[in-house]
Amino acid sequence: MRSQSTKNTSARQVDKFRQFARVVVEHHFGSRAALIKYRSGGLSNFVFEAKHAEGTFIVRISPDKAGLTAFVKEHWCEREARRAGIPTAEILETGFSIIPFPYVISRSVAGVEGVDHPERDSIVTELGRMAAKINAIATRGFGESFDWSNNQLSRNNTLKEYLENEYGYEKRIETLARSSVCPTTTIKALKRVCREMLGLRAKPTLSHGDVRLKNVIADKKGKILAVIDWEKATSNVAPHWELSLALHDLDIDRRERFIDGYGIKPKRLAEIAPYIKAFNLLNYTDAIDLAMDAKDKASLDRLRSRLSGTFDLYSL
């Protein structure tokens, strides 16, 4: 009985936000859409595909009014990326005035998602080249608040400020140590590498924050048509931050392809590898916190095997 009620509530929500999507399309184009198709409802947004005389478009609506901030940031990042030669799903409008929720409307990109594409290997190389272009876009401030935001008070002027305040590297190390998912030798090394990072004289640049195959649309031949989903974008230290996220779920061959595309020489890669690994370890603390809160021993055991180096087949 509860399951049926949940289904009905969900259906009512979809219908409610579908009507909002109709209003957004009519407002933007001055005429109604021929079809509004529900695409998905994730944790954050309701997503609809709109068929209109002007073409096919994607409308995303956040049920959380604070979602406007993420949409504004995405719009800025998408616009700057296009200026730098990165293909994106062009955002046409972001707003919060014509319906009671934040929305964004963008062009739909017809193609195949990179993760399912038969030419994944060549796509990974091209994605590396695009990541390098993204990381060459100069920004001001480190973290979530940078050029797109008028909030000067929340802006971190240095990498040290970002790591200590917004990112909270010390608390993340404490989580790793408290959960015992990493050997004590790893914790000691992590503390040393983080202290070194605090002293880096880094200039902030744009980082997509999730440059992976699932966020790429390509044509049949494997040419990238759009890099999508900029909601995790930050202003950060490059390429350390970007690579820690882009490489961690690729196999060794595709990691090499991505690096070849990015254009990093072996000597330089070896120099920054400790920082890439440090970010990768620290980023696992969100998953560790969830597992600990849920007292999920099985998940913690899996994380312990991964973070203790059990799957490292290349060093002894």
CA dist 141 and 74 (Å) reads: 17
Q: What is the pLDDT of residue 44?
A: 81
Q: What is the pLDDT of residue 129?
A: 98
CA dist 255 and 124 (Å) reads: 8
- Give the residue with greater pLDDT, 285 vs 42: 285
pLDDT at 41 over 80: no
Cα→Cα distances 97→93, 151, 263, Å: 12, 21, 44
Over range 142-165, report the average pLDDT: 93
Q: Map residue 170 onto helix, strand or coil.
A: helix
Q: Any idea which residue has 């933007």 for tokens? A: 28
Model pTM score: 0.91
pLDDT at 40 over 80: no
Percent of the chain scoring above 70 in pLDDT: 96
CA dist 36 and 308 (Å) reads: 48
Cα→Cα distances 3→6, 17, 44, Å: 5, 21, 21
241: left (phi over 0), alpha (psi -120 to 50) or beta: alpha
Average pLDDT along the chain: 94
Q: What is the pLDDT of residue 186?
A: 96
Residue 181 CB contacts under 8 Å (≥ 6 apart), including other chains:
284, 288, 300, 303, 304, 307, 308
pLDDT at 5 over 70: no
Chain centre to alpha carbon of residue 101: 22
Q: How confident is the model at residue 42 (pLDDT cuts 50, 70, 90)?
A: low
Q: What is the pLDDT of residue 153?
A: 75
pLDDT tens sequence across 54-86: 999 999 999 999 899 999 999 999 999 999 999
CA dist 122 and 226 (Å) reads: 15
- In this structure, of 39-48, 96-105, 120-129, the range with the lowest mean pLDDT score is 39-48
CA dist 20 and 97 (Å) reads: 12
In the chain, the DSSP E strands lie at 35-41, 46-52, 55-61, 91-95, 103-107, 112-113, 205-207, 216-218, 224-227, 234-236
Each as own residue / partner, the long-range contacts of residues 149-156 (CB below 8 Å, 24 or more positions apart, any chain) are 149/69, 149/72, 149/73
pLDDT tens sequence across 234-266: 999 999 999 999 999 999 999 999 999 999 999
Q: How confident is the model at residue 2 (pLDDT cuts 50, 70, 90)?
A: very low
Q: Give the Cβ contact number of residue 1 at 10 Å.
A: 5
Q: Any idea which residue has 């350390």 for tokens? A: 240
Chain centre to alpha carbon of residue 238: 15
What is the dihedral angle through the alpha carbons of 42, 208, 133, 116, rounded to the nearest 10 degrees? -40
Contact 193, 90 (CB under 8 A): no
Structural domains in the chain, sorted by start: 2-107 (3.30.200.20), 112-307 (3.90.1200.10)
